[in-house]
């Protein structure tokens, strides 16, 4: 290990043997992406309905805000370790942590999306004879979609950056390179793993940013 | 017919919006609730389609207590035109107009076809059908709002300061067109405004409200102008300041109606010469209030400060 570890990291990334097989970069990236998508999806199943409910009714808003804030403050590594001690090595422990990590952004996005609808527009929709469900699905959600996607964006970036912790308790993903490198003091490999995680996070962020733009309802886009 | 029976509305926290209000609104009449803010006029109007439920008392439509009706179904059967249009910003003009028919189960195609007709009825260029509300002028938006209110062909049309957010010229235009529409459609209109001129223009009958939904006076514009019930009414309609006082001056053999400031309000015609409808194309001076020709006034000298019926009914 001599020379510049950053240059060596790029050499490591360029090595074709690292781009094939079950521990190759494409496979590890897919695993990493899989953990992220699964974590965010499970969190969304909980947080989106809850956020829409809180936003539409205003019920439990204080509790939701407090809980989301508290969840944000939890140290993820600590959570992963704690859950691993409770449920054992495997995917369950990190996944639980990712879900808890993703919920606050999704919850805040969904509830603020609903709240952002102009009260006069909502009142008009109600006065025309829309049911509360129709107001939610035909007015509040379409108008607030960019904010909902914004919640997904925040959650995804956080989970993708944290998903390397899955490898800490015996799973795959890009974290494997980081923890392998850490164990063997192979800094180029560690850096390469980090660069890959960063690149993946940037790509996902950009993709969701574009989605956010696309979900801006026609008629409300600035001309 | 719409009836209010001893209606009271108290909000949590003790704000009393309406104290004790009773009124009967005949079918096909245009009734205007007029008053300052805090008079409870919008609250009262919104009780008709259960956007507000009274704390006590009853509101009924054709004998049915609205409290016994499903609010969603009720609202779909009553047209509602709101202040600043209240259009859905993410839907096209056409889809905004089609909102209620679609909610009532009309197919989208049929609802859009009908929406096209309504655009013509309210004087909207068909080219605007695919536009979004944000791309329209304030006046156009209000026209869309009126078309949406009429889309399900309701018997009752509620109008909450519908022309309050547009400039005076457009407002006058919209008011005139509403009156033309009403002549054909004969809806029961409940119209809320704080503008007494608008109230006298639009209303078959006008209810003047004091704070707390207390009725100061009910009557036709003529009745209210000719015999204000009290100082509050006189002040509200401007009679105490001489704003409504017109007199006739004879100029070159014609009777010219002049307002308190000495400006010509119009020319007085004999009834025989003015056989046209009340909103016909009679001669109107540039400062005629209310925009209605004063052609129904029998030619007779009216002393300054008097309140000639008809001559002042805008």
User: In A, which residues are within 8 Å of B69 by CB distance?
Assistant: none
Are B56 and B202 in a shared domain? yes
Task: Give the residue from A116, A128, A222 with the most B CB atoms within 10 Å of its CB, the best one to mutate.
Answer: A128
Average of per-residue pLDDT across B84-90: 90
Closest CA–CA distance from residue A48 to any residue of chain B (Å): 22
| Claim to verify: residue B255 and residue B230 sit in the same structural domain | no
Question: Which of A124, A134, A217 lies closest to B86 in CB terms?
Answer: A124
Confidence category of residue B243, pLDDT binned at 50, 70, 90: low
CA distance B24 to B205: 11
Task: Give yes or no: residues B43 and B156 share one domain.
Answer: yes
Q: How far apart are CA B112 and CA B80, in angstroms?
A: 19
Does residue B132 share a domain with residue B108? yes
Determine the pLDDT at residue B242: 66
Q: Summarize pLDDT for B1-11 with one digit per residue, the tens.
A: 999 999 999 99
Domains of chain A from N-terminus onward: 25-214 (1.10.3720.10)
Helix, strand, or coil here: B22? strand
Instruction: Say yes or no: B275 and B305 in one domain.
Output: yes
- pLDDT higher than threshold 90 for residue B244: no
Clarify whether residues B139 and B191 are in a common domain: yes
The reply to whether B215 and B87 lie within a common domain is yes
Give yes or no: residues B134 and B18 share one domain.
yes
Q: Which residues of A touch B76 (CB under 8 A)?
A: 128-129
**What chain B residue is nearest to A144 in terms of C-alpha separation?**
B90
Is the CB of B75 less than 8 angstroms away from the CB of A128? Answer: yes
State mean pLDDT over B40-52: 96
pLDDT of B296 > 50? The answer is: no
One domain, residues B140 and B184? yes
A-contacting residues in B 23-62 (Cβ below 8 Å) = 46, 49, 51
Q: Are residues B121 and B264 in the same domain?
A: no
**Residue B50 to residues B85, B156, B274, B308, Cα–Cα distance (Å):** 19, 13, 45, 41
Domain residues for the domain of B129 are 2-236
Return the pLDDT at B271. 62
* Cα separation, A175 vs A34, whole angstroms: 13
**Which of B208, B236, B264 is at the close of a domain?**
B236
Task: Give the pLDDT score at B66.
Answer: 96
| Chain A touched by B102 (CB under 8 Å) | no
Chain segment A44-74, per-residue pLDDT in tens = 999 999 999 999 999 988 888 888 888 888 8
The pLDDT mean for chain B works out to 85
The CA distance from B114 to B129, in Å, is: 12
Rounded mean pLDDT of B289-305?
42
Handedness of CA A193, A195, A200, A204 (dihedral sign): positive
Angle subtended by helix axes A92-115 and A61-73, to nearest 10: 140
Q: Are residues B202 and B281 in the same domain?
A: no
Q: Which of B216, B236, B256 is the last residue of a domain?
A: B236
User: The complex's ipTM?
Assistant: 0.82
Q: Give the other-Cβ count within 10 Å of B274's Cβ.
A: 20
Q: Quickly state the pLDDT bin for B268 (edges 50, 70, 90).
A: confident
What does the radius of gyration of chain B's CA atoms come to, in whole angstroms?
21
Q: Which residues contact B276 (CB under 8 A, 6 or more apart)?
A: B282, B293, B295
- Say what the pLDDT of residue B313 is: 40
Q: Is B82 close to A217, i.e. CB distance below 8 A?
A: no
Residue in the structure block whose two tokens are 């909103």:
B279
Q: What residues form DSSP beta bridges with B35? A: B209
What is residue B245's predicted lDDT score, i.e. its pLDDT?
74
Q: Find, among A217, A207, A90, the residue nearest to B95 by Cα.
A: A217
Q: Write down the pLDDT at residue B278.
A: 45
Contact assignment for B80 to A124 by CB distance below 8 Å: yes
Q: Say if residue B147 is in the same domain as residue B256.
A: no
Residues of chain B with Cβ-Cβ distance to A220 below 8 Å are 89-90, 132, 134
Residue of A113, A124, A143, A217 for testing the chain B interface, max B β-carbons within 10 Å:
A124
Low-confidence stretches of chain A (pLDDT beneath 70): 1-2, 221-223
B108-158, pLDDT tens digit by residue?
A: 999 999 999 999 999 999 999 999 999 999 999 999 999 999 999 999 999
Please state the pTM of the whole predicted model. 0.82
Total count of domains within chain B: 2
Q: Which residues are paired to B7 by β-bridges?
A: B21
Interface test mutation site (partner A, options B77, B86, B99, B115, max chain A beta carbons within 10 A): B86
Question: Between A and B, how many CB-CB pairs are < 8 A?
Answer: 69
DSSP SS3 for B192: strand
Which residues of A lie closer than 8 Å to B, measured between beta carbons? 118, 120-121, 123-131, 134, 139, 142-143, 217-220, 223
Q: What is the pLDDT of residue B309?
A: 41
Which one of B184, B208, B236 terminates a domain?
B236
Which token pair is A115? 């709240």
pLDDT digits (tens, 9 = 90+) for B222-242: 999 888 899 999 888 887 766
Task: Give the residue among B2, B18, B11, B64 at the shortest CA–CA distance from B210.
Answer: B18
Q: Which of A124, A126, A219 sits opposite B90 (nearest CB)?
A: A219
């Amino acid at each position: 290990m001599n020379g510049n570890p950053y240059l060596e990291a790029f050499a490591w990334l360029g090595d074709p043997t690292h781009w094939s097989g079950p521990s190759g970069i494409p496979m590890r990236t897919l695993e990493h992406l899989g953990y992220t998508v699964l974590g965010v999806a499970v969190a969304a199943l909980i947080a989106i309905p809850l956020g829409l409910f809180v936003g539409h009714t205003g019920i439990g808003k204080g509790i939701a805000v407090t809980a989301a804030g508290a969840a944000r403050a939890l140290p993820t590594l600590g959570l992963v370790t704690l859950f691993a001690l409770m449920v054992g090595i495997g995917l369950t422990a990190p996944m639980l942590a990712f879900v808890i990590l993703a919920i606050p952004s999704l919850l805040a996005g969904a509830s603020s999306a609903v709240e952002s609808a102009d009260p006069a527009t909502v009142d008009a929709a109600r006065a025309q004879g829309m049911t509360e469900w129709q107001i939610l699905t035909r007015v509040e959600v379409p108008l607030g979609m960019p904010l909902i996607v914004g919640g997904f964006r925040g959650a995804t970036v956080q989970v993708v950056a944290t998903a390397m912790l899955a490898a800490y308790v015996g799973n795959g993903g890009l974290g494997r390179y980081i923890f392998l490198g850490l164990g063997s003091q192979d800094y180029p490999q560690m850096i390469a793993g980090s660069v890959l995680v960063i690149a993946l996070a940037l790509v996902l962020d950009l993709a969701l940013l574009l989605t956010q733009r696309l979900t801006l309802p026609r008629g409300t886009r600035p001309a | 017919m719409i009836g209010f029976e001893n209606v009271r509305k108290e909000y949590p926290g003790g704000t009393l919006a309406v104290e004790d209000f009773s009124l009967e609104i005949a079918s096909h009449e245009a009734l205007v609730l007029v008053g300052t803010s805090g008079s409870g006029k919008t609250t009262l109007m919104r009780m008709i389609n259960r956007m507000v439920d009274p704390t006590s008392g009853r509101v009924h439509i054709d004998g049915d207590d609205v409290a016994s009706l499903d609010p969603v179904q009720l609202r779909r059967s009553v047209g509602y035109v709101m202040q600043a249009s209240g259009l859905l910003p993410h839907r096209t003009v056409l889809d905004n107009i089609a909102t209620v028919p679609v909610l009532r189960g009309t197919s989208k195609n049929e609802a859009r076809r009908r929406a096209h007709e309504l655009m013509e009825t309210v004087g909207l260029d068909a080219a605007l059908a695919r536009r979004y509300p944000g791309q329209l002028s304030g006046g156009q938006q209000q026209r869309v709002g009126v078309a949406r209110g009429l889309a399900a062909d309701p018997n009752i049309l509620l109008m909450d300061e519908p022309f309050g957010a547009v400039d005076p010229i457009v407002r006058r235009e919209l008011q005139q067109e509403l009156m033309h529409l009403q002549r054909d459609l004969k809806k029961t209109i409940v119209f809320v405004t704080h503008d007494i001129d608008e109230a006298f223009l639009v209303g078959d009958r006008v209810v003047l409200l004091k704070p707390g939904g207390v009725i100061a006076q009910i009557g036709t514009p003529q009745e209210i102008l000719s015999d204000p019930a009290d100082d509050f009414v006189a002040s509200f309609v401007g009679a105490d300041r001489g704003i409504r006082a017109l007199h006739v001056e004879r100029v070159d053999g014609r009777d010219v109606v002049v307002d308190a400031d000495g400006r010509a309000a119009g020319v007085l015609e004999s009834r025989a010469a003015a056989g046209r409808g009340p909103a016909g194309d009679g001669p109107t001076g540039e400062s005629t209030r209310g925009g209605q020709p004063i052609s129904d006034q029998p030619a007779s000298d009216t002393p300054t400060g008097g309140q000639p019926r008809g001559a002042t009914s805008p």
